[in-house]
Structure 1
């Protein structure tokens, strides 16, 4: 495993980090708690020391699973990354979307990052996670109803109180990152990035490179699409959001799988799976510090972790990039 500094801090993260959204079950058609715990622990055994979660993932369930998984691993040996700013238990801020919780009950999701809400969310997360500090605390989505300075004044207080080590953002555009930076040192942006979604290369990547920030790339496998395992006619469990996602519709599935077939010889040459090749390519891209990879079970977690051991030459990356340029999705 490789370990990389989080922006301009002294905190090091594993280059492949455990993404715990699916572990919470919400929007993934449920999850097996024991398997999720084993996945986190198996990843840790292979060097995956960084775990990214959020309260909204299963409405607290993901954070509880993370706490159970890391209880005996040694707090100083792991890095816990969580988030704030998505409330299902408070109708404040601005309405995001309707959803269902793991029990199938209707819930409304609000994006809210007011000061008093953040302080409460942090306390709740600390309790669920069974820890007294969070390594990286990130706003989950922008909140257009709360001034950015108010949000990060609250995080500054949490840092001063020793409950949070560093502040990050998720899904912020360049303008929002710059505005947040006026109040507090923002060390990272967690944002979607993959072979088929590279829009951040235009503005965000140059900014983080120039200002020594980190990018935590989420959905580097496009929620399983780039594993090569999702074929036409694939059955999704009830409640799995991917069933309606545009990238998973027939035309795009065919194109993506044809694209992946062109990468298969390189993966085989590296004695790697397609998933591992994709993850390695991701963390080799300029500005990308960490790739977040979810896992349903121990085998998947181990496979994800071992992607860091692959070596890609400049020629290998050029070959992959050439094939990416040919891919045109609907």
Structure 2
């Protein structure tokens, strides 16, 4: 495993970071507590020391599972990354920016983007309780909130750093213009954004800006929520309440399948799976600090960690990139 410094901080994160969206269950067809905790333990045992979650993931469940999984572990050797700014419980009293509606266990919920100072303070306290810890290593604004001034949001995170509640502050899903605006008040340590072989739009403007200004990039959905693992072209089925039933529809699946068939011999030559090859490719791209990889059981967690053992030469990377020209967007 490699450990990389995040932006302008002293945080060292594992290049493969555990992504805890799926273990929350919501939008993913449910979850299994025992397997989820085993996945976290397997990640830690295999060098993945950084765990990324959010209150929205399972409406608190993902954070609770991480809190339970790390109980008794050396906290100083684990980096917890969580977020704020998606409110579903009505505590925002109609304030903020309506994002979407969702149904969970028969409940119809309205999700708002809301990043006021008061809400950030409230969410952090709730997260600390669920995670059963007294500090968060990296706190991130989950999505931009057009109704709250950026300076208010950034000032709140700067205050939390001074109070020792968080070690570093970052953002997520911010474009370059928003990053510049946020930096006028407090320079974010990182920006967590979607990035994969099929979605490389950040390379044009965001990556150069982040590199120039020492802002870490945390890449999420590198395997496009399982699509680039190839298993969904092999009779793998999804539950009806799994959001990927619609998510995969944005891609030309025949073109993706053809690409993966070309990638398979490369993976086989490395004694690796497609998912491992995709993860390793992502960690080697310019400006990418760490890559999020979800795992719902121990086997997947070990496989993700072992992706870092794959060696890819410059010629091999160039050959893979040559096959990706048609997917640029």
Partner of 2:275: 275
3-state SS of the aligned residue for 1:159? helix
Tell me what 1:264 maps to.
Answer: 264
Question: Residue in 2 aligned with 1:206?
Answer: 208
Given the alignment of the two structures, is residue 67 of structure 1 paired with residue 67 of structure 2, yes or no?
A: yes
2:137 paired with 1:96:
no
Q: Which runs of 5+ in 2 are unaligned?
A: none
Aligned twin of 1:303: 303
Deviation at 1:328, TM superposition (A): 7.7
Q: Is the 8 A contact 1:225 1:248 kept in 2?
A: no
* Shift in Å, 1:157: 1.1
| Aligned counterpart, 2:110 | 108
Matched, 1:139 2:138: no
TM-score (norm 1): 0.96
The equivalent of 2:217 in structure 1 is 215
Q: Give yes or no for contact 1:16–1:292 (8 Å, CA) kept in 2.
A: yes
C-alpha displacement at 1:36, in angstroms?
0.5
Distance between the aligned counterparts of 1:168 and 1:143, measured in 2?
14
Say whether the 8 Å CA contact 1:232–1:254 is kept in structure 2: no
Alpha-carbon RMSD = 1.4
Give the distance between the partners of 1:177 and 1:162, measured in 2 at CA: 24
1:148 to 142, 147, 150: 150
**Cα deviation 1:243-271 (Å, max 9, x = unaligned):** 012x347x722221110110111111111
Match of 1:119 in 2: 121
Cα displacement string for residues 162-198 of structure 1 (whole angstroms, at most 9, x for unaligned residues) = 0011010000010110111111121100000000000
1:58 is aligned to 58
User: Secondary structure of the residue that 1:316 maps to in structure 2?
Assistant: helix
Return the alpha-carbon distance in structure 2 between the equivalents of residues 328 and 131 of structure 1.
41
**Residue by residue, what CA displacement relative to the aligned partner does 1:252-294 show, whole Å, maximum 9, x if unpaired?**
2222111011011111111111000000000100000100000
1:33-44 → structure 2 map (5 Å cutoff): 33-44=33-44
Cα deviation 1:228-252 (Å, max 9, x = unaligned): 101276421121101012x347x72
Rounded to whole Å, the distance in 2 between the matches of 1:177 and 1:168 is 10
Partner residue, 1:11: 11
Query: Are the aligned partners of 1:259 and 1:327 in contact in 2 as well (CA < 8 Å)?
Result: no
Tell me what 1:85 maps to: 85
Counterpart for residue 241 of structure 2: 239
Partners of 1:231 and 1:254 lie apart in 2 by 10
| In 2, Cα distance between equivalents of 1:131 and 1:183 | 28
Question: Does the CA-based 8 Å contact 2:199-2:328 persist in structure 1?
Answer: no
5+ residue gaps in structure 1? none
Determine the C-alpha separation between the residues in 2 that align with 1:197 and 1:326: 11
Q: Secondary structure at the match of 1:58?
A: coil
Deviation per residue, 1:205-234 (Å, 9 max, x gap): 001111111100000000001001012764
**Paired residue for 1:46?**
46
| 1:107–1:16 Cα change, 3 Å | same
For 1:117 and 1:328, the matched residues in 2 are separated by: 38
Count of paired positions: 326
Structure 2 counterpart of 1:253: 253
> Secondary structure at the residue paired with 1:278?
helix
